[in-house]
Amino acid sequence: MSFEAALQFVLRQEGGYVDNPDDPGGATNHGVTQHTYDAYRTAHGQPPNPVSDITDAEVSDIYATDYWSACHCSDIERQANEWLALVVFDTAVNSGVSRAAQLLQGLLGVTADGSIGPRTLGALAGRDARQLAEDYLWARLAFDASIAASRPASRQFLPGWVNRLVALRSRR
């Protein structure tokens, strides 16, 4: 699966502009938060701009750099399979790069430092990647349920999170 194919999956899940006051991430467009967009524009020598005005090229660049590459999804794809790479990428988008890494690291039995590197990638060797992806989805469901249990305002998002997990599982 190419980055572009993974991006298309994520964009179908994320939709367009949303500013739900119960979402701690604040305003998002195509899943990119205002905070992430501000950091991106600042890093590129541009002034902040409303996330509602984000371009498709900026969305693609942010996802490629800040999520796909940050999680070494191309390496995961090469060493495991494309489904696990998609699952990790989507989790990074939905819950953050560090959380995505920690879920994978916990399942692999390596130090959960929140950064996928040589030890994490090396631990993929000899693992059943399909089973690992299944286990990852269950771990993500448990994490999502814990958010809903601890933050009542977020309970409204749980059905969407579950639907997203179902969509991910159907990609296997």
Interval 12-28 mean pLDDT: 93
Return contacts of 63-70, CB within 8 angstroms, 24+ apart: 63/3, 63/7, 63/10, 63/32, 63/93, 64/3, 64/7, 66/36, 66/40, 66/97, 67/92, 67/93, 67/97, 68/3, 68/6, 68/7, 70/97, 70/116
pLDDT in tens, 35-61: 999 999 999 999 999 999 999 999 999
Element (H, E) at 28: strand 28-29
- Give me the pLDDT at residue 102, please: 98
Interval 154-159 mean pLDDT: 95
Q: What type of residue is 18?
A: V
Place of tokens 């890494």: 101
Interval 20-31 mean pLDDT: 94
pTM (whole model) above 0.85: yes
Nearest residue to 157 via CA among 34, 24, 9, 16: 24
- Give me the pLDDT at residue 45, please: 98
Q: What type of residue is 58?
A: E
The answer to whether domain 3-169 has CATH 3.40.630.30 is no
- Give me the pLDDT at residue 151, please: 95
Please give the full DSSP string across 100-115, using - where no structure is assigned.
HHHHHHHHHTS---S-
Nearest residue to 8 via CA among 80, 116, 71, 93: 93
What is the band of 17 on the pLDDT scale with cuts at 50, 70, 90? very high
**Residues paired with 29 in a beta bridge:** 17, 32
Domain ranges of the chain: 3-169
Of the chain, the percentage scoring pLDDT greater than 90 comes to 97
Q: What type of residue is 102?
A: Q
pLDDT in tens, 92-146: 999 999 999 999 999 999 999 999 999 999 999 999 999 999 999 999 999 999 9
